[in-house]
């Protein structure tokens, strides 16, 4: 699953570019999906897969928490790592003053298809547009946001996953460097394979 250049990602017409201005973009990954039909949006994909029970990691919530397959377990490991559990740092809830949701304009709120602050797995939704969703997680290690986007091309769809990380202490850069190998070699490939499988399940012809 390829890592995407910052230049390619920033050329996409996404709200996140201005919305998270000043927040470091840690990395971006993508997976190409078959173009079974035209006009599929990210919102339709998220609602259709598993009857609306697909969370941002590409797993059905029921399978993630009852009988987690490999990909869900990897995603959960990533989430718990950012949550600080792996190094004994207690999670702290997102507060109104810290959440990226404080950046939402009235226009953003009126366009969003999901209420800010709603839980999405281990994350909380900041906004969901037709082809773009931003979720966040805040703890004592990092303030992280994950951007999911779906772009239709002439022959396929491309699903993008962008990760933004804002430091909350001097430990944040060290910690992100520590978990980077696991994220890049195991978590992201497994996560994007799961997205492709859910896409084929939702829109495949057989």
| 146-197 pLDDT, tens digit each | 999 999 998 999 999 999 998 888 888 888 888 888 888 888 888 899 999 9
**SS3 state at 3:** strand
CA 155, CA 174: separation in Å to the nearest integer?
A: 41
Predicted TM-score (pTM) of the model is 0.80
Residues 6+ apart with CB under 8 A from 56: 120, 121, 123, 133, 135, 146, 148
Q: What is the pLDDT of residues 59-100, one digit of tens each?
A: 544 333 323 333 444 444 444 344 444 333 334 444 444 899
Q: Are 165 and 142 in contact (CB under 8 A)?
A: yes
Output the six-digit token pair for 72.
């869900």
Q: Does domain 6-203 have CATH number 3.30.530?
A: yes
């Amino acid at each position: 699953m390829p890592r995407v250049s910052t230049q390619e990602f920033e050329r996409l017409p996404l709200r996140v570019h201005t919305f998270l201005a000043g927040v470091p973009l840690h990395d971006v990954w993508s997976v190409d999906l078959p173009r079974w039909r035209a006009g599929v949006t990210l919102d339709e994909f998220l609602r259709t897969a598993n009857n609306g029970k697909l969370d941002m990691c590409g797993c059905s919530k029921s399978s993630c928490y009852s009988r987690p397959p490999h990909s869900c377990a990897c995603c959960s490991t990533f989430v718990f790592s950012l949550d600080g559990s792996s190094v004994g740092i207690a999670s702290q809830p997102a507060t109104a003053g810290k959440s990226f949701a404080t950046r939402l304009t009235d226009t953003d709120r009126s366009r969003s298809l999901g209420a800010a602050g709603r839980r999405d797995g281990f994350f909380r939704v900041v906004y969901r547009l037709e082809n773009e969703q931003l979720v966040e997680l805040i703890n004592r290690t990092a303030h992280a946001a994950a951007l999911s986007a779906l772009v239709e091309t002439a022959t396929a769809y491309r699903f993008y996953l962008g990760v933004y990380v804002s430091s909350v202490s001097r430990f944040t850069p060290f910690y992100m460097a520590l978990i980077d190998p696991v994220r890049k070699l195991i978590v992201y490939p497994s996560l994007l394979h799961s997205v492709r499988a859910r896409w084929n399940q939702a829109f495949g012809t057989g």
